[in-house]
Structure 1
Amino acid sequence: MSQLIELEQAANVRELGGYQTKYGSVIKDRKLIRSAAIDALTSADQEKLADYGVNQVVDFRSLAESQAQPDRPIKGAKEVFLPIFEEDETMVSLSPESLKQRLDDGEDAEEQMKKVYRHFVESPHARKQYRQFFDHVIDNANGSGATLFHCTAGKDRTGFGAFLLLHVLGVDPDTIKEDYLATNRYLGPMLKAKFEPMTKHLEADILNAISVLMRAEESFLAESIATIKKQYGSVDQYIEVGLGLRKEEQDYLIAHLTE
């Protein structure tokens, strides 16, 4: 069901438009786009996204990530910097040294990722940032422009943001899960090309850990949902109480982003 937007130098760029909702409507095309990093866009990619209607880009990456690989601008698009992790937070690192230390300390890669997904729910900073994300989507909902939101792989910070949006818009849980897991299909070739050269130089346990960290796993998103239910009772309560997204605001999004 996911609609890939094929670009020359960006991966996992996907439409959220077309998904059915429980209200008998579908999410509008060219309104919500999830993506991996867009720091290597070609001129043709930039033009394609501008023509597609992207007029707002939300960057969930850290300051260090965004400075190391700044977004290539899209003509006419407002850029919003909205880091999900605070600057002193080091949640997951792909550096072999950091991974080896964590493995030596007895923390396997899967548990590292589950910690990240609990953090999305438990962290006051993360909740504040996702609330602001909704504010920007609301501001851009009425009109012809599209919001593109991304992190580095378009998998975790972006995946959780997509989960929240799709839930608010009334998409069923199975479809939301399919959208989340589709990252493995769309990101796989790029990751293989990036990490295959490392196979000759790194130990097997490190390579396995990298593989786990770069996958979208049902158990990761399930960790967020379990934490939400434990602390708030339901996803609806988390969105209304944890994020402070009022029912009127949710209705506004449904009215302007579905048809």
Structure 2
Amino acid sequence: MLGTLFIASVAALATVAETERFEGLEGQPNFRDLGGYQTTDGRTIRTGLVYRSGELPRTTDADLETLKRLGVRTVVNFLTDGETEFRGPDRLPEGVREISLPITGDVGGIPDAANMLVEARKTGDFRNFPPEFNPLVHEELVSGLADDQYTALFEVLADEANYPIVFHCSHGIHRTGTAAALVLTALGVSWDVVREDYLRSNVTRADEVAPRIEDLKTLATAFEMSPEERARNSASIEAFYVLEPEYIDASRTKAAQRFGSLDAYISEGLNQSPADLERLRAFLLE
């Protein structure tokens, strides 16, 4: 499964426009510009306006200077209070506006899944989060779990005074990955490119993911498990940290089941009118 990291690297680099596109903070390697991608009508997303990221409590002094240089004005945070208590609040330059839009809820019968994952990340016990949990998260995110929060994100994006904007969750993969897919789709980017952007997190996070997986497997040895159960737990850890294309595809499929297409979900489920989308495109595309 770890081979996915290298496959994703080649695929993602193939369709990113050759333009200045910032990627990677010292304290958050999965911080990256959503600009540079081409739309199906030949336009390009402007760089330097919208960034996706993982959590930001470990930004270094150099990172703070970078965020100032990038001119970041607004950070949208999808983390719950429990997650923030565990990892710490974002460390941002003075004056940056923070908007909290916590996303949590029952996923696959797991109550308050986001906070339950906090415990799994402390202990290495991922028995409640089998590999099939990951695409299920993406399904749930567009099944009503995060409709209000994603609608609010589009409202933030609608106000040019908020730019440049960063949105993030913990790792920048599930909640943020779905949000990025929605924004890119709204701008007219093809699904193949949306998928490649999603999988790019395997590349940006590669240096931290491999040791993290091993650390969690070591922590899990504190629990009594049969060899089969331990193997399943290890597979669940790997599946959570190494992304597969079917994870993000599940968002598109579920949205289509609800509304007929992902575009219709954006329009009807997130209340984005044709005029709203045209204003967004006029500002973010060139």
Pair in the same fold by TM > 0.5: yes
Amino acid at match of 1:220: Y
Q: Is there any run of 5+ residues in structure 2 with no aligned partner, and where?
A: 1-12, 221-229
Q: 1:74 maps to what in 2? A: 93
Aligned to 1:184: 202
Distance 2:267 2:215 in 1: 46
Does residue 89 (structure 1) correspond to residue 112 (structure 2)? The answer is: yes
Please list the CA deviations of residues 8-47 of structure 1 after superposition, one character each: whole Å capped at 9, or x if unmatched. Answer: 2112111111111123221111101011111100111011
What CA deviation, in whole Å up to 9, does each residue of 1:142-177 have, x standing for no partner?
A: 68x310111111111000000000001111111111
Aligned residues: 250
CA distance in 2, matches of 1:194, 1:8: 17
2:278 paired residue number:
251
1:87-109 deviation digits (Å, cap 9, x = unpaired):
96225623457523x3xxxxx62
Shift of the 209–249 alpha-carbon distance from structure 1 to 2, 3 Å rule, reads: same
Alignment of 1:149-228 (within 5 A): 149-202=167-220, 203-228=230-255
| Structure 1 length-normalised TM | 0.89
- Structure 1 gaps, min length 5: 103-107
* Alignment partner of 1:132 is 2:115: no
* Amino acid in the other structure paired with 2:244: E
Aligned Cα root-mean-square deviation (Å): 2.0
Deviation string for 1:45-74 (max 9, x for gaps)? 011111111111011111111233210022
Q: Which amino acid aligns with 1:90?
A: A
Matched, 1:51 2:69: yes
For 2:70 and 2:124, the matched residues in 1 are separated by 41
User: Structure 2-normalised TM-score?
Assistant: 0.81
Change (3 A) 1:127 1:176: same
Distance 1:89 1:52, change over 3 A: same
Which residue pairs with 2:268 in the alignment? Answer: 241
Q: 1:126 to 1:167 in 2, by over 3 A?
A: same
CA separation of 1:86 and 1:63: change in aligned 2, threshold 3 A = farther
The AA in structure 2 aligned to 1:244 is: N
For the Cα contact (< 8 Å) 1:50–1:76, is it kept in 2? Answer: no
Other-structure match for 2:4:
none
